[in-house]
A and B are shown apart, each in its own frame.
Chain A
Amino acid sequence: GAGVSQSPSNKVTEKGKDVELRCDPISGHTALYWYRQSLGQGLEFLIYFQGNSAPDKSGLPSDRFSAERTGGSVSTLTIQRTQQEDSAVYLCASSLLYQNHEQYFGPGTRLTVT
């Protein structure tokens, strides 16, 4: 079946602009996660959703970052007033349930802030 999809695959934006990144999880998966990964680094957890609610926003780096999920499906990660340090690959993953279940990743969005 269809896997996790993300769009856009690449985004180049100017410092100070807002960006929206989109994630379509695997159909039927209730949990959705956002991570980011800088070049050569490990995964940095940002936020997860259980249904449409986000019980754990502990990883969001600043209040410029926000995310929402609607209809228990698509999620959008928004970064306002982008900074150069926001440049990274943003990965979305989904899992059937939240606790202890394996996660399946999308291909990521490579964000470059110039």
Chain B
Amino acid sequence: RKEVEQDPGPFNVPEGATVAFNCTYSNSASQSFFWYRQDCRKEPKLLMSVYSSGNEDGRFTAQLNRASQYISLLIRDSKLSDSATYLCVVNDSWGKLQFGAGTQVVVTP
């Protein structure tokens, strides 16, 4: 079983709509969680950290569910520029960050 699993998508989202997707992780002791975005043929960029209480950054909301071992990302009022692959990142037992394979989001006009 992979340490971090994501639905590859694509999630096709009309502009202005809300989209949400999850990422599951296998290590119950994980402490650090992040969302990165990766545009086509570009490097991954940190989008936001995910805190236990959940956190929001503008149109983006991240949640952590420790009991079910998943994190989620919600994007409100989607923009065309939100089209990207979103990578879920979780630390393993040795503190090493494990990257998921990504969820593709396509925002359409």
Interface residues of A (CB under 8 A from B): 41-43, 45, 48, 56, 89, 91, 98-108
Q: Which residues of B contact A102 (CB under 8 A)?
A: 34, 46, 49
The interface size bin for chain B is 20 to 34
| A-B residue pairs, 3 tightest by C-beta | A99-B95, A42-B101, A100-B32
Q: Which residue of A lies closest to B43 (CB)?
A: A105
A residues in contact with B32, CB < 8 Å:
100-101
- B contact set with A: CB distance below 8 Å: 31-32, 34, 41-46, 49, 87, 91, 94-97, 99-102
Q: Is the interface of B mostly helix, strand, loop or mixed?
A: loop
Interface CB pairs A-B, < 8 A, 11: A42-B100, A42-B102, A43-B99, A98-B96, A99-B96, A100-B32, A101-B32, A102-B49, A104-B46, A105-B44, A106-B43
Which of B43, B94, B96, B100 contacts A108, CB < 8 Å?
B43
In the complex, the answer to whether B43 meets A107 with C-beta atoms within 8 Å is yes
